[in-house]
A and B are shown apart, each in its own frame.
Chain A
Amino acid sequence: MRRAGLALVVALILAMPFVAGDYYVTLMLPFFAYSVILLGLNLLFGYTGLLSFGHALFIGVGAYAAAFLTSKFGVMHLEAILLAAAGAAVLIAAPIGGLCVRYVKIYFAMLTLAFGMLFHSFLLKFYFVTGGDEGMRVLQPFLLGFDLSQIPKVRFLTRPFYYYSVVVLAVATFVMWRIVSSPFGLCLRAIRDNPDKAQSLGVSVKRYRWYAFVISAAYAAVGGALLGPTTGQVDPNLAYWTHSGNIVFMMLLGGFANFFGPLVGALVFIFLQDTVMSIVPYWRLVFGAILALIVIAAPGGLMGLLDRRAVSWGEKSRQGGAPP
């Protein structure tokens, strides 16, 4: 049943460029990018129990890596860009994560927020490097070595880049699935549940939290690098704390207790934002109300509502026992 549902979703995604209008097809591109980001964020929150409010930092690292490489260094191969983005994120996340994972809950969230804001300020103030407020251009990358600049931009985005993003998301999903179903994933869930007890089973809590942090940062950067080519431009808002808030919202909207929940959240967020923005100018008001409704009425998110597990999750969170 689950497999059939997944196959249907994959078929729909693959068929979309042929059946839907270009506008909606291009709306799917940020969905793929945010999906990659959210897979990582959920490893940290849903599986390890650490809520980062600074993950936009790593989205920014990935997006600016794409901008620097294409417009300053002439590196056009998207494969190289994605790898470089992940590598840069790992380098930056290693020391930041080392500091942050010493703390939990609100202290962890605030510390990640602080680092996010530091990076945002850096992007904004060092304008001679980063272009400041204006940001930087992201040139159209080569896909698998092919220079596709002859193709019109919209055609490039809705066909080759669309399928390229699908493949990146598929690989990212497969790798993340392997991670969460491995013994390492099991240890992360044990840590989320009871870090003290996990230690007495030989689990090095801080080290595993750190691994989760670094992996999730690499995911955020890969997603960030995928965001760049769609708009052709990156700016410091990508690293702003409200952007971190948005991805946390997507995760809650879809449901962090489910592997695919955050992806559903991203899809609904993007299409809902598009619809609401076209109807009323106060989309944030609408989204605020939705967020409040979810936390109160459906703590398991949209997937939680679908999933039978929603029942037990709801009970647990009302009793204050829901992880984390």
Chain B
Amino acid sequence: MGAAGVMLSVDRLNVYIQASHILRDVSLAVGPREVVCLVGRNGAGKTTTLRSILGYLAPQSGTIRFLGRDIAGRRPFEIAQQGLGFAPEDSAIFADLTVAENVEISTWTRKTSRTAEERLALAYAVFPALTRYRARKGTQLSGGERKMLSIARALALDPTMLLLDEPFEGLSPAIIPEIGQSILEITTMGHAILIAESNIHHVPEYTTRLYVIERGEIVFSGPPAEVWKDEAVLRIIGGTPSWQSFR
């Protein structure tokens, strides 16, 4: 992938939280319309990587480039305004705001070529179930609905790229395909997606590239099919090669 085809590139990122060296020379890249998965066990550094990209953590060294601009050290709201949408693991729905209000906010904070109405329509089109709950408060939603709202809200930002932290975490198996399908629809709109995922079995089949992170280091990068051939990596992320045949 040439430099021109890169939307987000992270190069030799080192992040410390207090005295702990959390990320060690992490490098990754996401191209236009790509769905890239960052897989690793709990505590491996997935969320830290995302939070560093989003400006919540300042890296000690390394570069983070988004659409050709260096965004390391920028503040989170500036990074969001540049078009990086984020749906965190805990969904972080504004409990006191209605579903409609949750989704609306970012149509105001970031202006793009699409009108607010178009952006809201797109967000609801991806998660039609939310349309019924527009007037509900964030507290009145189930876990799955919160996930949907969190992603829909990030979509309403009209982002160029989406960062999803564990979008399938804690969801009933029944709803996972629904959310997976919605994420696929998002890519057809031209957005690139970076997903952090702890469960290799949740990695969607349309994933174009996979990174495996362990103890703050990238230990594998390549097409998803390759990872199933690498037993050492599979041991780390807990995937069983035989499972692949059931897919």
Contacts and interface: CB of A to CB of B under 8 A. Distances in A.
A187 B109 contact: yes
Given A190-B94, A196-B56, A323-B96, A203 B139 contact: no
Contacts of B101: 186, 189
A199 B108 CA distance: 13
Contacts of A198: 77, 94, 105
A200 B97 contact: no
A197 B109 CA distance: 13
B97 A190 contact: yes
A199 B75 contact: yes
Contacts of A197: 88, 92, 94
Contacts of B86: 200
A189 B108 contact: no
A189 B56 CA distance: 21
A194 B146 CA distance: 15
Q: Which of A184, A189, A197, A323 has the most CB of B within 10 A?
A: A197
Contact of B108 (A186, A200, A205, A321): A186
A193 interface: yes
B105 A186 contact: yes
B108 A194 contact: no
B94 A193 contact: yes
Contacts of B76: 196, 199-200
A135 B104 CA distance: 49
Interface in A143-191: 183-184, 186-187, 189-190
B104 A193 contact: no
Contacts of B157: 201-202
Given A186-B104, A187-B105, A202 B110 contact: yes
A231 interface: no
A189 B80 contact: no
A242 interface: no
12 contacts: A183-B107, A186-B105, A192-B96, A193-B96, A194-B94, A199-B76, A200-B76, A201-B106, A203-B77, A203-B105, A204-B77, A323-B96
**Chain A interface main SS type:** helix
Interface string A191-232: 011101111111111000000000000000000000000000
Nearest to A205: B77
Q: Which of B80, B94, B95 has the most CB of A within 10 A?
A: B94
A202 B104 contact: no
Given A192-B96, A197-B88, 11 more contacts: A183-B104, A183-B107, A187-B105, A187-B108, A190-B105, A197-B92, A199-B76, A200-B76, A201-B80, A202-B109, A203-B105
A185 to B, nearest CB: 10
B95 A321 contact: yes
A146 to B, nearest CB: 43
Given A183-B105, A183-B108, A312-B139, A194 B92 contact: yes
A202 B106 contact: yes
The bracket for how many chain A residues form the interface is 20 to 34
Contacts of B104: 183, 186
Interface in A100-150: none
A199 B80 contact: yes
A201 B109 contact: yes
Q: Which 10 A-B pairs have the closest CB atoms?
A: A202-B109, A183-B108, A199-B76, A202-B80, A197-B92, A193-B94, A201-B106, A200-B86, A202-B81, A199-B77
Contact of B94 (A183, A184, A189, A321): A189
A200 B86 CA distance: 6
Q: Which of B56, B92, B157 has the most CB of A within 10 A?
A: B92
Nearest to B76: A199
A192 B106 CA distance: 16
Contacts of A321: 95
Q: Which of B75, B77, B153 has the most CB of A within 10 A?
A: B77
Interface string B100-138: 010011111110000000000000000000000000000
A183 B157 CA distance: 14
Given A197-B88, A201-B109, A186 B77 contact: no
Contacts of A204: 75, 77
Nearest to B92: A197
B54 interface: yes
Nearest to A323: B96
A199 B109 CA distance: 10
B91 to A, nearest CB: 9
A302 B95 CA distance: 23
B77 A193 contact: no
Contacts of B56: 196
A189 B109 contact: no
Q: Which of B76, B81, B86, B88 has the most CB of A within 10 A?
A: B76
Interface string B218-245: 0000000000000000000000000000
Contacts of A183: 104-105, 107-108
Nearest to B150: A197
A56 B88 CA distance: 40
Contacts of A203: 77, 105, 109
A197 B76 CA distance: 9
Contacts of A199: 75-77, 80
